[in-house]
């Protein structure tokens, strides 16, 4: 059995030790938290990129992405071609009361239509208001941070390499054509002087 009152003394010692330390409590909302730029706050939808492929809704473990669409017939690109059909988005909504912020929907989207925004201040008094429809998801896009810069040692993106090669080829062809035109002009001058 320990000395009577030793427990109390230990407790007071802990109190005294922690009393002098700096507090970690942040007085939110007066003090805003310093969050990493890639914080998973809310999901933004870049509607123009969405092809209604349904991959995000199928892969979401919580089944909290709701998508409705209809098909539209698009006239052929060239006369005599075949008509094509495409999906048109009618509804895109995410229920943030169910979402567990796993990010699977963003990872699987093949068309870069979903993005993380660090915004987190969207608490609601009515849980139904946590279902964000497409307009609200579109608004979140304005709060998505710009992509981070490429690693200077990274391999050049294939698209940039292909564009550079095409530009170099075009410039070489133009230079060759200009040279040929110059030579043809010089030859004409020589022939004219001889005759
Ligand atoms: S973050 Fe996860 S849970 Fe939330 S909508 Fe996307 S896939 Fe579903
Ligand atoms: S995965 Fe991307 S493109 Fe497909 S429905 Fe979802 S947001 Fe749209």
Residue 50 annotated as part of some ligand binding site? yes
Q: What is the reported pLDDT for 1?
A: 58
How far is the centre of ligand 2, averaged over its atoms, from the C-alpha of 2 (Å)?
A: 66
How far is the centre of ligand 1, averaged over its atoms, from the C-alpha of 25 (Å)?
A: 30
Residue 64 annotated as part of some ligand binding site? no
pLDDT exceeds cutoff 80 at 138:
yes
Q: What is the reported pLDDT for 93?
A: 98
Task: Looking at the structure, give the CATH architecture of the domain made up of residues 30-143.
Answer: 2-Layer Sandwich (3.30)
| Cα–Cα distance, 90 to 187 (Å, whole number) | 67
Closest atom of ligand 2 relative to the 55 alpha carbon: 1
Quickly state the pLDDT bin for 72 (edges 50, 70, 90): very high
Q: What is the mean pLDDT of residues 74-80?
A: 85
Q: What is the mean pLDDT of residues 71-92?
A: 90
Query: CA 101 → CA 50, 107, 140, distances in Å?
Result: 20, 12, 15
More confident residue, 80 or 189: 80
Residue 56 annotated as part of some ligand binding site? yes
The chain-wide mean pLDDT, for the chain, equals: 91
| Cα–Cα distance, 34 to 31 (Å, whole number) | 9
pLDDT digits 0-9 by tens, 39-52: 999 999 999 999 99
CB contact at 8 A, 114 and 45 = yes
Non-local CB neighbours of 72 within 8 Å, separated by 6+ positions: 85, 86, 87, 88
Closest atom of ligand 1 relative to the 95 alpha carbon: 5
pLDDT exceeds cutoff 60 at 194:
no
Q: What is the mean pLDDT of residues 56-84?
A: 93
Q: What is the reported pLDDT for 150?
A: 81
Q: What is the reported pLDDT for 190?
A: 61
Quickly state the pLDDT bin for 151 (edges 50, 70, 90): confident
Q: The whole model's pTM is what?
A: 0.72
Q: What is the reported pLDDT for 50?
A: 97
């Amino acid at each position: 059995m320990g000395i009577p009152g030793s427990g109390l003394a230990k407790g007071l010692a802990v109190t005294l030790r922690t009393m002098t330390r700096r507090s970690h409590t942040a007085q939110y909302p007066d003090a805003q938290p310093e969050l990493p730029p890639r914080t998973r706050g809310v999901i933004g939808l870049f509607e123009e990129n969405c092809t209604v492929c349904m991959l995000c809704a199928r892969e979401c473990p919580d089944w909290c992405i709701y998508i409705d669409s209809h098909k539209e017939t698009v006239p052929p690109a060239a006369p005599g071609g075949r008509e094509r059909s495409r999906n048109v988005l009618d509804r895109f909504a995410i229920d943030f009361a169910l979402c567990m912020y796993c990010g699977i929907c963003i990872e699987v989207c093949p068309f870069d239509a979903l993005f993380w925004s660090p915004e987190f201040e969207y608490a609601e008094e009515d849980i139904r208001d946590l279902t964000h429809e497409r307009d609200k998801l579109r608004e979140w896009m304005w709060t998505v941070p710009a992509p981070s810069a490429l690693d200077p040692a990274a391999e050049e993106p294939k698209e940039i390499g292909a564009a550079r090669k095409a530009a170099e080829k075009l410039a070489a062809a133009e230079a060759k054509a200009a040279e040929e035109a110059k030579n043809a002009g010089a030859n004409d001058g020589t022939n004219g002087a001889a005759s």
